[in-house]
């Protein structure tokens, strides 16, 4: 594949390595003078062909031990470029060995690649000639000792946990899926659009949204200021009023006495000064600590955006405005839910991929979703097999098999009505579900997983859902009972993608908004897209962390995002 990032980076790194041997030009190529371990151990020959080459390597010690009566040290070194370590051997004559062996120590070394004695597992190892950097670790204090740590324990150390094999593998898989996402959509002519994070379209109900505000910090500032400089008292203001009165009288006297122009001007200037002082005092006397209110309600007119603002729950509505002129677009960014969910499947901050296609209908949407998911799976097989093998070994024996199956198998497509019939059949056949099965229900996770894991044992797209359980913007089908929605269900996580054809008919969508008792005003801009040059269009959203759970087999969503946010927790 021409744009296979990992192999490109591999090639580049290999070139760098070659240069390292033949010239001192390395730094420029890599923006560092080290050679990534990946470019050695990920070669088809495992690095054997590089024996005899002199390289600089940097990384962190996974395990280190002194051997042969402290004559030398064996270090397993990892630099994050791949899951594999490079075995590094340091002779006691080269460096003091004790600071090098603790787990977590950072070293940069110059050395020569050598073939190890036969019978050892590594294909190539590094004999160190010079230690150029040591970032030491006091093992008594290091929070991540060599012993196996639970993922739950590691959540207390989000700044250090990427140093573990698991979290670094997840980081590489996440990177691969992100770049695969951009590559897929760019290849198909989609334009990446940055939809806003701060939004004033509170379409999903403010209750589940985070509010973004400067009112509290400004109230804090004012409160501190008022303590430092108390507001004027009534007496202060009275005194100032008296001064204004006196100065006014002086002006009047001078004028009626036809005094000199200079004298009148001078007294007018004094009057003006006192008036200004009074109005400043009056202004300040109105200041009240606390969040500003108007008619008993918070006065959002004084907030940063002069109105209430929230963190987005989806970029869909906004990206539609770009689809309705640029035709094929997508957004990929963070989204937010202020739900008090303490489950292993929910985060307060998570990433979503949301393409939107104009001149397209539901079947196009399904084609796009299927092609995208299969592309992601194939990409991981092509670019991250080493990390996937680690995952298969430690977390989920079937994860590679699952990727292969999805990459190579056309998805099953069934209507919601067919799905309900299949579930009813299953119930008749003795299958127990906690949630009742009947036409009109929203499919529960157990239903979705039965369809994809048991019934079809492959991804399933369910389409044409009852309109009453779906959003107002989904296109009403001719039966007037269902809407052109579709969900992609996959083994392991259930719903991975939710999408729909959007209602492009002005009259129909307006009626749907009314029927669902939503206010029209906030959607006027959205209705404009139907008022002026409307177009059939559709799109979907893929929960990026769900895709990671699907790919890696990790159980808790908090472990597949670098800095998880959930109720009571937002470290760093």
Q: Which two tokens stand for residue 105?
A: 């120590």
| Interface with a copy of itself, residue 3, by CB under 8 A | yes
User: Would you count residue 206 as binding a copy of itself (CB under 8 A)?
Assistant: yes
**Secondary structure element (H or E) that encloses residue 310, with its range:** strand 309-311
The 3-state DSSP class for residue 389 equals: helix
Q: Contact between 153 and a copy of itself (CB under 8 A)?
A: no
Residues 77-136 that bind a copy of itself (CB under 8 A): 79-81, 104-106, 108, 133, 135-136
Q: Which C-beta is closer to a copy of itself: that of 2 or that of 234?
A: 2
Task: Provide the token pair at 450.
Answer: 């039965």
Torsion-angle region of residue 527: left (phi > 0), alpha (psi -120 to 50) or beta? alpha
> Do residues 476 and 512 touch, judged by C-beta distance below 8 A?
yes
C-beta of 492: minimal distance to a copy of itself in Å? Answer: 22
Among 114, 146, 210, 270, the residue binding a copy of itself under the rule CB under 8 A is 210
Which among 63-71, 117-125, 328-336, 495-503 is the span making contact with a copy of itself, rule CB under 8 A? 328-336
| Contact status: 519 vs a copy of itself (CB under 8 A) | no
Are 170 and 294 in contact by the 8 Å Cβ rule? The answer is: no
Out of 73, 75, 77, 309, point to the residue binding a copy of itself (CB under 8 A). 309
570 binds a copy of itself (CB under 8 A): yes
Residues between 535 and 554 with contacts to a copy of itself, criterion CB under 8 A: 535-536
Q: Which parts of 79-181 are beta strand (E)?
A: 86-91, 106-114, 125-135
Under rule CB under 8 A, residue 28 binds a copy of itself = yes
Cα 184 from Cα 171, distance rounded (Å): 20
- Which C-beta is closer to a copy of itself: that of 89 or that of 144? 144
**Residue 375 to residue 188: CA distance in whole angstroms:** 12
CB of 140 to a copy of itself, least distance (A): 12
Binding of a copy of itself by 166 (CB under 8 A):
no
The residue (of 116 and 334) whose beta carbon lies closer to a copy of itself is 334
- The Cα–Cα gap between 231 and 281 comes to 8
From 355-363, 440-448, 452-460, 475-483, give the range in contact with a copy of itself by CB under 8 A: 355-363
Using CB under 8 A as the binding criterion, the count of chain residues that bind a copy of itself stands at 131
Residue numbers 331-350 binding a copy of itself by CB under 8 A: 333-334, 336, 338, 340, 348-349
Q: Based on CB atoms, which residue is closest to a copy of itself, 39 or 267?
A: 39
Q: Cα separation of 124 and 120, whole Å?
A: 10
Please tell me whether residue 514 binds a copy of itself under the rule CB under 8 A: no
Q: Which stretch binds a copy of itself (CB under 8 A): 52-60, 242-250, 266-274, 407-415?
A: 52-60
Single out the residue of 27, 151, 222, 518 in contact with a copy of itself (rule: CB under 8 A).
27
Q: Map residue 170 onto helix, strand or coil.
A: helix
Pick the closer one to a copy of itself by CB: 171 or 259. 171
* Closer to a copy of itself by Cβ: residue 268 or 298: 298
Give the span between the Cα atoms of 220 and 310, in whole angstroms. 21
The dihedrals phi and psi of 31, each to the nearest 5 degrees, come to: 60, 35
Tell me the backbone φ, ψ of residue 48, rounded to 5 degrees: -55, -40
Of 118-126, 156-164, 270-278, 435-443: span binding a copy of itself (CB under 8 A)? 156-164
> Near a copy of itself by CB under 8 A, which window of 238-246, 413-421, 525-533, 551-559?
525-533
CB of 331 to a copy of itself, least distance (A): 9
Distance CA 332, CA 315 (A): 8
Is 288 a binding residue for a copy of itself by CB under 8 A? The answer is no
Instruction: Please report whether residue 38 would count as binding a copy of itself according to CB under 8 A.
Output: yes
The answer to the question of residue 228 lying near a copy of itself (CB under 8 A) is: no
Cβ contacts of 445 within 8 Å, gap of 6 or more: 494, 495
CA angle 217, 222, 226 (to 5 degrees): 150
Neighbours of 461 (CB within 10 A): 22
CA atoms within 13 A on the CB side of 569: 14
Contact 279, 240 (CB under 8 A): no
Phi-psi group of 31: left, alpha or beta (phi > 0 → left; psi -120 to 50 → alpha; rest → beta): left
* Minimum distance, C-beta of residue 455 to a copy of itself, in the bound complex (Å): 26
Return the residues of window 473-512 that contact a copy of itself according to CB under 8 A: 504
Query: Given the DSSP bridges, would you call strands 125-135 and 86-91 parallel, antiparallel or unpaired?
Result: parallel
222 binds a copy of itself (CB under 8 A): no
Is 289 near a copy of itself (CB under 8 A)? Answer: no
Question: Based on CB atoms, which residue is closest to a copy of itself, 69 or 532?
Answer: 532
Sign of CA dihedral 422, 424, 426, 429: negative
In angstroms, the CA 233 to CA 187 distance is 70
> 412 has which bridge partners?
460
Q: Of the candidates 252, 280, 305, 515, which one interacts with a copy of itself according to CB under 8 A?
A: 305
Q: How far is the CB of 472 from a copy of itself (least distance, A)?
A: 17
Please report, as residue ranges, which positions from 382 to 441 form the binding site for a copy of itself (by CB under 8 A): none
């Amino acid at each position: 594949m021409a744009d296979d990032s990992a192999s490109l980076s591999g090639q580049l790194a290999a070139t760098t390595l070659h240069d390292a041997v033949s010239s001192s030009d390395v730094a420029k190529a890599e923006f560092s003078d080290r050679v990534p371990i990946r470019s050695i151990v990920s070669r088809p020959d495992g690095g054997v062909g590089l024996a005899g080459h002199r390289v600089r390597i940097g990384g962190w010690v996974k395990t280190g031990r002194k051997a042969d009566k402290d004559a030398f040290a064996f270090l397993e070194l990892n630099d994050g470029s791949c899951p594999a370590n490079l075995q590094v051997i340091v002779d006691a004559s080269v460096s003091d060995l004790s600071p090098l062996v603790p787990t977590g120590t950072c070293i940069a070394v110059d050395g020569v690649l050598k073939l190890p004695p036969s019978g050892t597992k590594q294909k190539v190892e590094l004999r160190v000639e010079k230690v150029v950097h040591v970032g030491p670790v006091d093992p008594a204090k290091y929070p991540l000792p060599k012993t196996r740590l639970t993922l739950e324990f590691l959540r207390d150390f989000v700044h250090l946990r990427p140093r573990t094999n698991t979290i670094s593998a997840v980081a590489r898989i996440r990177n691969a899926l992100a770049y695969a996402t951009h590559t897929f959509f760019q290849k198909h002519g989609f334009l990446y659009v940055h939809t806003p994070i701060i939004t004033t379209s509170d379409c999903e109900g403010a209750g589940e949204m985070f509010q973004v505000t400067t009112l509290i910090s400004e109230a804090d500032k004012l409160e501190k200021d008022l303590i430092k400089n108390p507001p004027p008292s009534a007496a202060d203001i009275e005194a100032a009023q008296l001064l204004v009165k006196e100065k006014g009288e002086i002006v009047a006297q001078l004028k009626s006495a036809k005094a000199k122009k200079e004298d009148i001007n001078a007294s007018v200037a004094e009057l003006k000064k006192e008036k200004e002082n009074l109005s400043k005092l009056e202004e300040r006397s109105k200041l009240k600590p606390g969040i500003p209110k108007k008619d008993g309600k918070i006065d959002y007119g004084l907030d940063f955006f002069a109105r209430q603002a929230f963190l987005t729950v989806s970029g869909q509505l906004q990206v539609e405005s770009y689809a309705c002129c640029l035709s094929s677009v997508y957004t990929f960014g963070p989204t937010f839910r202020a739900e008090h969910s303490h489950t292993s499947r929910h985060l307060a901050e998570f990433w979503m991929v949301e393409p939107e296609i104009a001149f397209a209908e539901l079947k196009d949407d399904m084609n796009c979703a299927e092609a995208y998911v299969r592309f992601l799976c194939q990409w991981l097989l092509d670019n991250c097999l080493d990390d996937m093998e680690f995952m298969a070994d430690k977390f989920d024996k079937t994860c590679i098999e699952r990727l292969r199956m999805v990459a190579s198998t056309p998805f099953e497509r069934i209507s919601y009505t067919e799905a309900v019939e299949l579930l009813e059949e299953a119930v008749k056949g003795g299958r127990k579900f906690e949630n009742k099965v009947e036409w009109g229900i929203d499919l529960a996770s157990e239903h979705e997983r039965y369809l994809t894991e048991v019934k079809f044992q492959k991804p399933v797209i369910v389409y044409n859902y009852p309109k009453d359980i779906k959003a107002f913007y989904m296109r009403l089908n001719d039966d007037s009972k269902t809407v052109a929605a579709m969900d992609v269900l996959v083994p392991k996580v259930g719903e991975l993608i939710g999408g729909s054809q959007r209602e492009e008919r002005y009259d129909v969508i307006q009626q749907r908004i009314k029927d669902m008792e939503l206010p029209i005003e906030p959607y006027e801009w959205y209705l404009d897209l139907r008022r002026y040059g409307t177009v059939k269009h559709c799109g979907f959203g893929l929960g990026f962390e769900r895709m990671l759970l699907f790919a890696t087999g990790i159980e808790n969503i908090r472990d597949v995002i670098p800095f998880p946010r959930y109720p009571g927790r937002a470290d760093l």
